[in-house]
Chain A
Amino acid sequence: EAGVAQSPRYKIIEKRQSVAFWCNPISGHATLYWYQQILGQGPKLLIQFQNNGVVDDSQLPKDRFSAERLKGVDSTLKIQPAKLEDSAVYLCASSILAYNEQFFGPGTRLTVL
């Protein structure tokens, strides 16, 4: 069974630039999550989708971050403009239903210079 796919794996940008990450969840998984993991910390939930609807985006910095999940499958997370403190690994995860076991993708390592 194919796992959660993410791209790109690595991205280096300068502050104030824009960046987008893509996630393809496991087929049939209704719930999709985006996490931000800063070095030495646990993953922080940014946004959770149930199909193509948002369940929780309370920790998403909406002035610069946006996410969408069109057609309830793939998802993109965008940062515009990026700040130095956005340097982190961005993890995408999916689960069959909300709060079942989450399967994580390999993550995108973002460095903002």
Chain B
Amino acid sequence: RKEVEQDPGPFNVPEGATVAFNCTYSNSASQSFFWYRQDCRKEPKLLMSVYSSGNEDGRFTAQLNRASQYISLLIRDSKLSDSATYLCVALLINDYKLSFGAGTTVTVRA
């Protein structure tokens, strides 16, 4: 079983819509999580860190559910520029274990 699993999508949504997707992690001892955004043929860039139950930054909201071992990312009022692949990262600090998911692709259409 993979450490971090994501629905690959693609999620095709119209501008202004809300889109949400999950990331599940296998190790219950994972302590911190990150969402990175990766544009086509570009390097990943940090979107958001999640250390406790969740985080919110403008139109982006991340929620952590430790009981069910998943992190969700919700994008409100989608913009064309939100089209990208969103990578989930789980971190096991004590074991120095850092795992990326394969990413969820979101395409926002006009």
CB distance from A3 to the nearest CB of B (A): 9
Instruction: Identify the interface centre among B32, B34, B49, B98: most chain A CB within 10 Å of its CB.
Output: B98
Q: When A101-B49, A104-B45 are in contact, do A56 and B97 touch as well, CB less than 8 Å?
A: yes
> Does A13 sit within 8 A of B, measured CB to CB?
no
Interface hits, A9-50 → B, CB 8 Å: 35, 40-45, 48
Known: A42-B87, A45-B98. Contact between A107 and B103, CB under 8 A? no
Give chain B's interface residues, CB within 8 Å of chain A: 4, 6, 32, 34, 42-46, 49, 87, 91, 93, 96-103
Q: Other than A41-B102, A43-B100, A45-B100, give 4 A-B pairs with Cβ distance below 8 A.
A: A35-B100, A42-B6, A99-B32, A99-B91
- CB-CB under 8 A from A56, the residues of chain B are 96-98
Contacts of A66 in B (CB 8 A): none
Chain A interfacial residues counted at CB < 8 A: 19
User: Could you tell me if B102 and A91 are in contact, using CB atoms closer than 8 angstroms?
Assistant: no
- Known A40-B102, A42-B103, A43-B87; judge A98-B96 contact (CB<8 A): yes
Which residues on A sit within 8 Å (CB–CB) of B46? 101-102
Which A residues lie at the B interface, using CB under 8 A? 35, 40-45, 48, 55-56, 91, 98-99, 101-102, 104-107
A55–B94 CA distance with the chains assembled, in angstroms: 12
CB-CB < 8 A to A98: which residues of B?
A: 96
A108 to B90, CA, bound (A): 24
Closest CB in chain B relative to A7 CB, distance in Å: 14
Tell me the bound Cα distance from A106 to B38 in angstroms. Answer: 11
Alpha-carbon distance between A43 and B44 when the two chains are bound, in angstroms: 9
- Please name all residues of chain A whose beta carbon is closer than 8 Å to the beta carbon of B100 when the two chains form the complex: 35, 42-45
In the complex, the 3 A-B pairs of residues with the closest C-beta atoms, listed nearest first: A104-B43, A42-B100, A42-B102
